[in-house]
Amino acid sequence: MVNYKANHLKEKLINYNIVNKSMLKYPISTLLYLAKINIKDKIQDILKLHNNIDVKLTVTVKDKDGKIIKVHKQKSHSFLMNYLAMIATLMSNPYGSSNNYYYFQSTAGTWWSYASNYDTNVLNTLTILDGANDSTYGIVVGSGTSPPKPMDYQLESLIQNGTGNGQLVYGAVTVSPTPGTSTLQGATTQPSTGLLNVSGNTTSFSISRTFQNQSGASITVSETGIITEATLNGNVAEYVLLIHDLLSSPITIPNGGVMAITYTISVTT
């Protein structure tokens, strides 16, 4: 009886175009989560309502010949408690002092604060620019199917970097627009480089990474996230999950194919 009710509900969600058939690998609890956010997103798009802070996720898949076979776009809904705890800590201390902390959980499951002298290591507090052939931080992908929760500290099932069974070759993380390469202090004219994109009332910043499938078989990705490397208490580097998203439908990368993921973070004034 339970299975009948679940299958009947899945059919209704498909018939009303709330979910699609490719999403049926997800459990019913996950489908209901996706249905709720899909309906919310559609209403916002129809009424042209936009959040002050918005995050969009774009996924492009190419086959082994470089032909685009899939383009997927959705809103990201899942900045985590970790992200806000880090930002709140940076905003909760006067200059030259660091006595107030909000704590966050690393991907290893351990709890941390920023280093007591983090004000002198500000460039190491939220770095995401991981190099190629590493799945430790930056944009990461996985095969989990559970809805994200505020206290998540790791992907449900991270896909590791590599060429073995079920692995993907991670490219280097890039950002756009290109940052400036020199420090600036008290300039009286606007610099020509190192500025974020501004269009109308919206300012944006993008983070991208590629994932190549050299495993010998197709690989399906269903979750994505962004992990930062941060200098924490004791001046050690730890890894902290900031964003965790469930794809609204799983995406398959064929053997020899490449997936490109871009997170675009924007603020509208």
pLDDT per residue, tens digit, the chain (269 aa), is: 445 455 545 555 555 455 556 656 667 677 667 666 666 566 555 545 556 788 999 999 999 999 999 999 999 988 999 999 999 988 887 766 667 889 999 999 999 887 665 544 555 678 999 999 999 999 999 999 999 999 999 999 999 999 999 999 999 999 999 999 888 888 999 998 999 999 998 999 999 999 999 999 999 999 999 999 987 766 678 999 999 999 989 999 999 999 999 999 999 88
CB–CB of 106/86 below 8 Å? no
Kindly provide the b/e burial profile for residues 27-40, where b requires at least 16 CB atoms within 10 angstroms of the residue's own CB.
ebebbebbbebbee
Q: How far is CA 178 from CA 54, 207, 219, in A?
A: 20, 11, 32
Cβ-based neighbour number of residue 218 at 10 Å: 12
Both tokens assigned to 208: 């991208």
Q: Where are the extended beta strands (E) located within the chain?
A: 53-62, 68-75, 104-105, 111-112, 138-142, 169-170, 174-176, 197-199, 202-212, 219-232, 236-253, 258-268
How far, in Å, CA of 185 to CA of 183, rounded?
A: 7
Q: How far is CA 123 from CA 89, 118, 228, 239, in A?
A: 15, 9, 12, 15
CB–CB of 236/148 below 8 Å? no
CA dihedral 165, 142, 105, 128 (to 10 degrees): 90
pLDDT at 93: 75
Picking from 70, 64, 238, 57, the residue whose alpha carbon sits closest to that of residue 148 is 57
Q: Which residues contact 31 (CB under 8 A, 6 or more apart)?
A: 9, 10, 13, 19, 23, 24
How far, in Å, CA of 168 to CA of 211, rounded?
A: 6
CB–CB of 170/236 below 8 Å? no
pLDDT at 261: 98
Q: Is the peptide bond before 179 cis (omega within 30 degrees of 0)?
A: no
Query: Is the Cα dihedral 99, 103, 107, 109 positive or negative?
Result: positive
**pTM for the structure as a whole:** 0.83
How far, in Å, CA of 225 to CA of 10, rounded?
A: 27
pLDDT at 188: 92
Both tokens assigned to 257: 């194919």
